[in-house]
Amino acid sequence: MHRSKLELYEEILQTLAKKPLILDSIAYTCNMDCRLLNQRLSFLVKNGLVQEENFKNKTRYALTKRGTAISKTLAITKRLEKLQHDAPLLNDSLQALPAIFNKSENKTTNTKQNQNC
C-alpha cells in the first residue's frame, strides 16, 4: 500500500522520538528509500521539526522541541481515533452487562427461596 507524505512524515517523527539516528537507520526502521527519506528529512529540517547533528563523522537526526510536541500530538490523535472507533463496540458490550447480571441475580434469588422452603 502506498503511504502518503503525511504518513511518511509521521513515521519519521515517531522513529526519531525514540532516539536520534543516522540516515541508514531511519531508512531501515521506516522501510523507506534513502533518496526519498532525504527529501522528507530536508522538509522536516527546513520547518524546524528535525535538526542535524554531527556525531562521529556522521550526520545524525534528532527531533527539536517543536518536533517532539508535534510527534506527541500525532500519537495522541491516533489514540483518540482508535478510541472513537472502539467506543460503539464498548457501548454495545456495556449494554449487554445488565442482562447478564439480572440473570445471575435471579438464579441467586431462586436458590435462596428454595433454601428457605
Report the CATH number at residue 11.
1.10.10.10
Q: Does residue 97 belong to any structural domain of this protein?
A: no
Segments forming the whole domain that contains residue 20? 5-66
- Dig out the grid coordinates for 40 from the structure: 522528507
pTM of the model: 0.69
Q: Give rounded-to-5 percent helix, strand, coil for the chain.
A: 75, 10, 15
- The domain total for the chain is 1
Q: Does residue 38 belong to any structural domain of this protein?
A: yes
The Cα–Cα gap between 43 and 109 comes to 69
Q: Does residue 29 belong to any structural domain of this protein?
A: yes
Q: What is the pLDDT of residue 85?
A: 78
Q: What is the pLDDT of residue 28?
A: 95
Q: Does residue 15 belong to any structural domain of this protein?
A: yes
Q: Does residue 36 belong to any structural domain of this protein?
A: yes
Q: Does residue 92 belong to any structural domain of this protein?
A: no
On the question of pLDDT at 80 being above 90, the answer is no
